[in-house]
Structure 1
């Protein structure tokens, strides 16, 4: 049966599986006009491993994120006294346990980002649940801090992802795109109490800078233009009194010709004087008070 032949209950059920509910932010903490929530997806070698690949070259690109990208990012956050959220596949955490302990040790947040950067929608429900459970246990074992939030790999959400997150008692998700500020997730139109911190490809470095030597995919935009897009997003968020959420990757933003984009954004936000810089957990905890 083609989609145009579906009965109404079929397309309604499809739409209503996971839906945006009550809008939870703003207002922000007293005296703050806008929230800035920086996040980094530490995919490292799992971008290659998740597709069953064994390309030495692609894995070396992932290793760059650990060797050079992360030190630059951590140095900047330290310099400007910023706290951020890091979403880490369990396999990447196992490859670099000292990196994860250093992140938590400096007051940043670690969040779930799958086991090996697998796509949830391609998994049987039992396998998806097993991998999510194993992932949170691995991160807790390595860091001694149990994650309270998740970002699905590639922002891929299955029919069962939300129910598994609820079973795990997670506070928030950051994988969906129904708003600019936080909202409560609905499952089959029922409130869940799970806060969504929405993402967007516009506010992600990968679409602008990713490339493949095989596929016809090449960076087509300059770092200056990417900064201009991010800056416009931030300035409008500030004007509206809402949230600027950003997703970056150490193996992408961490290069010498790109890391300055992050510094310019931080400097511009700091210059406002009334911006709340928060981890995703802090944003979700604040938003949850409106549930």
Structure 2
């Protein structure tokens, strides 16, 4: 089996800023740059004949439909990334399910078929998330980190005592295609200041990130018979000129090393017989 690479696109645009209470004009303009970045990513993916998965909040979809329509027209997969970009861990179960259903309905209307994938905003699912996904017909999630290259079925019903051993529940029915902050452009490149004055420094050199991400793929190819490497990019982050050069260089080097690029739905199909198209 080929070693898969999924370049996934989190189309946050202004939704992440709004969910964190940032409503200043300059900050929201940084998010709106995602429209420019989306156009650049589509051009790059078309050049390399790649289909990718775009995790889109409902707020992004209804706010920027003209930007998202070409994503569907080019044959990419849309998946749910919440309705707002609020973290499920901070919601009630009813609020979380309402956002999940509302976003799924909007995507189904937009692309003509129901989405089968989900990623929690900020990778902060609740303990109810995978259960809610299963109840609402989702096939895969991409929010957790208990593995790196091997999709797995997260357990339901774990108990985590502070002073005792983990009490394991049973595997659920939603396939996890894991993620990592080490393979995320936001962690590497974006600079943000928190309400408490803390700063996410970002602004790393693309050369360093290229070396790290490529070596992650090379290790997977060397050590594992099969696997899925999940990269996470955001149009408003990766869409800057020098980062687009970095991304294309990465694609070319991974192709030379034997990578097969795929959507998350295609990756899930290879690992899970539950995907029926």
CA-to-aligned-CA distance 1:149-203 (integer Å, 9 cap, x gap): 0000000011211111011110000000011211122212223221110000000
In the alignment, is the contact (CA less than 8 A) between 2:124 and 2:143 conserved in 1?
yes
Taking structure 2 as the reference length, what is the TM-score of the superposition?
Answer: 0.88
CA distance in 2: counterparts of 1:256 and 1:151, whole angstroms = 27
TM-score (norm 1): 0.84
Query: In structure 1, which of residues 187, 193, 212 is the aligned counterpart of residue 156 of structure 2?
Result: 187
- Alpha-carbon deviation of 1:271? 1.5
How many Å separate the matches in 1 of 2:103 and 2:135? 14
Are positions 1:286 and 2:266 aligned together? no
* 1:206 is aligned to 2:178: no
Give 1:249's match in structure 2, choosing from 222, 230, 234: 234
CA distance in 2, matches of 1:106, 1:220: 31
1:275 offset after TM fit, Å? 2.9
* 1:258 maps to which of 224, 237, 243: 243
- Post-superposition shift, 1:260? 1.3
Q: How does 1:1-291 map to 2 (within 5 A)?
A: 28=1, 32=2, 34-66=3-35, 68-180=36-148, 181-188=150-157, 189-213=169-193, 215-219=198-202, 221-240=204-223, 241=225, 242-272=227-257, 274-289=258-273
Give the SS at the match of 1:183. coil
CA contact 2:186–2:202 (8 Å) conserved in 1: no
Q: 1:93 to 1:220 in 2, by over 3 A?
A: closer
RMSD: 1.6
CA shift, 1:220, in A, is 5.2
Supply the distance in 1 between the matched residues of 2:119 and 2:78 (Cα, whole angstroms): 11
- Asked if 2 retains the 8 angstrom alpha-carbon contact of 1:100 and 1:142, the reply is no
- SS of corresponding position for 2:251: helix
**Residues 100 and 110 in structure 1, CA contact (< 8 A), matched pair in contact too:** no
Conservation of the 8 A alpha-carbon contact between 2:58 and 2:83: yes
5+ residue gaps, structure 2: 158-168
Q: How many residues align?
A: 258
